[in-house]
Structure 1
Amino acid sequence: MSLSPHGADETSEAAGSGRSGRRPGQSGTREAILDAARARFAEVGFDKASIRSIASTAGVDPALVHHYFGTKQELLTAVVDLPVDTDLIRAHIAAAPVDQLGETIVRTVVGVWDSPVGASAIAAFRAILGGGDAGLVRSFVLEVILKDVRHRVDSPPGAGGTRVALAVAQMGGVLMARKIIGIEPIVSMSAEELGRLVGPSLQRYLTGDLDLPPS
């Protein structure tokens, strides 16, 4: 499946995948876990919020958290609740050679944002940020969407986090110009064009010589 702007229908189909209906009796437990996870992520951050502490806050056994949501990353994805297929986005980026990550990230993210689910995703992000939960968005981007990228560009050792943070800042500026402020010609460019023009800047942050000391 393509995440390019030419694959909007496929992107929309993927956005609806993986969302099965809740069976009777599940809703209360699921919501309690989600509420507890949201509270713990906000209180101590994603890294320090353990499944055990989330389960304790929700008043359930830790095994139930894994049963309903799988990993902590998958639980965070459920808390953020964006109408996009995060597994597909990650797979699309993971399939790119390291020296093409910059262009691939731009094309993939812009393709999703331009798809039929894009408006809903933007609205969800705005709601999260408006509610003072910026940490959830940060954790979602760094620990779910781009976690694998951080490991792939970790040179010198320990620099992966800085490299990805710089790339995210660049990409955030592009999305702000395209979807929020409406700056031309950024708005009118295709995902392919933006990938070709902006991708090299992201690539420099991800793999170029930034004169970063080892951590």
Structure 2
Amino acid sequence: MSLPCHTVAAIGFIQSPYKQKFGVARQPGLVPAAEVVLPLLPIYGADCVRGLAEFDYVWLQFVFHGVVEEGWSPLVRPPRLGGKQKMGVFATRSPHRPNHLGLSLLKLERIEVDKQVRLYLSGADLLDGTPVLDIKPYIPFVEAKPEACSGFVAGPPPLLQVCWLPEAEQAFQAASLGADFRLLLEQSIAQDPRPAYQNIQERIYVMHLASTDVYFRIDQQIAWVVDLKPHLETIKGF
């Protein structure tokens, strides 16, 4: 039986420091320093967010736009299982879903209302340019179920220790990137953004974070920041 299709459209697009899929936190709240802005489209004015500032957290429903062209699969390999065991797509939060819909619970830092409504959110796991379809307030007594069974996901993932090589420290100081960027960088790398099946100690990984390319390698449970450079497209002014 087919149901009538209702067209949905974005109400705004996320402005995020995560410029590529690699490095984005795998779940909301794991990187508290990941701050994003959601400017709503002009049609959604101040009346649409009246009363929302009284809530600490909001649900965002969005589209995994970065993987739409990759399609979907009935079976996926969750990173929490080492990328070796398959689970049904509906038993995971994989972005490779039939409709590529995502749901994130983010901390609402503040709302600005002037010519455009802007929501400032933290703990984000969202790629820059993510289309947001809906916003709903988080209501703890309805939605918090700490005693619920969570299947194969038992607690937060283990964290890597993040260390800096002297050259990377010098590059950071020279670029004057600031304490907020450092915190974002370290919290993001500590989550181990590598594919679950990959453990090549000598490999140098590159994460495009804000306007900076961050180079790092992982040895056992230590992530070494190797270097930082301005992103090439940023230098070109794109």
**TM score, norm. by length of structure 1:** 0.26
**TM score, norm. by length of structure 2:** 0.25
Q: Computing the radius of gyration over CA atoms, which structure comes out larger, 1 or 2? A: 2
Between Structure 1 and Structure 2, which shows a larger proportion of helix residues? 1
